[in-house]
Chains A and B, each alone.
Chain A
């Protein structure tokens, strides 16, 4: 009997993949949404990356010698002096940002920042699934409850990883340069960071959203989380230059660890492996804790 056949073939992966694919299809099959997710990083890199361009601040073009000073040197001497100052600027950039190119610095911050947003929106889609009745419908089928939650986590993670690749590709024409320590294998390391981070973040956001019948409450909660997560991190500015209280916040922020790890892998000239290990461990533990708490909370809710 065919009904019996279908029961035999049931597998957890089957349902998980179907639900994940549903999420992904809604994204890549909607051309407007898809294109916008690609345009967004261009805007960020183009606008923020260039308007906040720290490297130009430290370059010779951003200053002129006062006439009183200039008159004491020959043109040749002035040129040398300008060079010194420029290289001093470069070394400040190198020391503070770990690279002389702010675009490169920011692009890495951007990929993690995008991961935050993607997971946030994926969390919000749970509310829609509930309101539009899809969640109840899925719950009335034998699909495993954990697949319902994991599909959201997985689709957000895959999306964020795809978007990260696009951001890095788009950043190249804007002047993104990899560090001396970069090898193509490091890309996998970056994906590993994103994977862990997204699993943690989307579990958190799903747990926040799943109990809510409206979009307003979780939106407010997430907006509140979003600010400190983004700006009290090393996404756009290095932690070392923050006031100490902000440093304290930023240095527990898992985003900082993921960003710093990705920077080591992509744009820094040397990799500090013990730091890298700490960064992986931190993001990994963060993912593990939030995923277990988030999934347990959501699972309990779905089994109510």
Chain B
């Protein structure tokens, strides 16, 4: 069997709700085998709608998407067998135990009990929940629940794993731990990952490529570094001992794009701070200037995100945390 390079291929995918609300508007992208693909965007930008179409829960209004060469609309069932889903919500049943929940997931894929039990044990071991497998989910912490969702999402040995906000509402330690589990599992099963997250540092360090969606359209796509470079480069800030204006001097240094002087501090824009900074220092040294302060700033994904969506990520993340909290409160009330 020839391996398909583009594990996920999306062409002109569109979803219109109630004939009026265009949630996803002719988006195109592809995800390569073995990639970790990050899907970012503000709340209501169309992330969830896109993911729901890809996992065959929603039917697209127009356009098409293929997963491992199978069309999500026409060959939905083939797609379902080859994907795993780790939803944003905690979907495990609180009244059931860990192992019961995993076996239920296995049943939904029609996996025979004997195989399901073996896989469940393996997965519980991988996410370190073996000790708690006979405990009801009610007694699990947030991190444990996430891990259980992960295990459930992997029970059918998916080739593509969809993770919707896998670390939402977790503390820093648990988030890091959860990502370690995800990375281990990815290596173990050689999967392609498609994930959404609101934590941009996570996306930056984990994702091979990132797409940012806003108002139903993909506004930019690329590796984290390309995206950051596209902002026009790094920033060097420096101060000197003497009280003389050296703006023109700096401006004449190779690679320098822009210089601004404010309160005795020079802010310099350049493509690559590592290359330009030594050149500037060299030029200043020749003029007998002594640098007292120097810092290099690489643009973060935050800046990229803000550039393209014009919204602060903080608000979006907080909003989402609130809804997650409301959801948990709701779940408690259900009992």
Interface residues of A (CB under 8 A from B): 2-3, 5-7, 9-11, 14-15, 17-19, 22, 25-26, 29-30, 128, 131-134, 136-143, 303-304
Contacts and interface: CB of A to CB of B under 8 A. Distances in A.
Contact of B95 (A2, A5, A29, A131): A29
Given A6-B112, A128-B334, A133-B91, A140 B55 contact: yes
Contacts of A128: 334
A220 to B, nearest CB: 19
A142 B108 contact: yes
Given A22-B96, A133-B89, A9 B108 contact: no
Contacts of B91: 132-134, 136-137
Given A22-B104, A141-B108, A3 B93 contact: no
Contact of A132 (B85, B100, B115, B331): B331
Contacts of A131: 327, 330
22 contacts: A3-B156, A6-B112, A7-B81, A7-B110, A9-B110, A9-B112, A14-B107, A14-B110, A15-B107, A19-B107, A26-B93, A131-B327, A132-B334, A133-B89, A133-B91, A136-B57, A139-B55, A140-B56, A141-B105, A141-B109, A141-B156, A142-B108
* CB-CB nearest 8 A-B residue pairs: A133-B89, A18-B107, A10-B110, A141-B108, A140-B55, A6-B111, A142-B80, A143-B108
B157 interface: yes
Interface residues of B, number: 36
B90 interface: yes
A180 B93 CA distance: 47
Contact of B110 (A26, A133, A142, A304): A142
Contact of A139 (B57, B105, B109, B157): B57
Contacts of A14: 107, 110
B186 interface: no
B332 to A, nearest CB: 12
B108 A29 contact: no
A147 to B, nearest CB: 9
B95 A132 contact: no
The residue in B90, B100, B105, B111 that gathers the most chain A C-beta atoms within 10 A of its C-beta is B111
B58 interface: yes
B69 interface: no
B52 interface: yes
B156 A136 contact: no
A25 B96 contact: yes
Contacts of A133: 87-91
Contacts of B57: 136, 139-140
A116 B230 CA distance: 63
A26 B89 contact: no
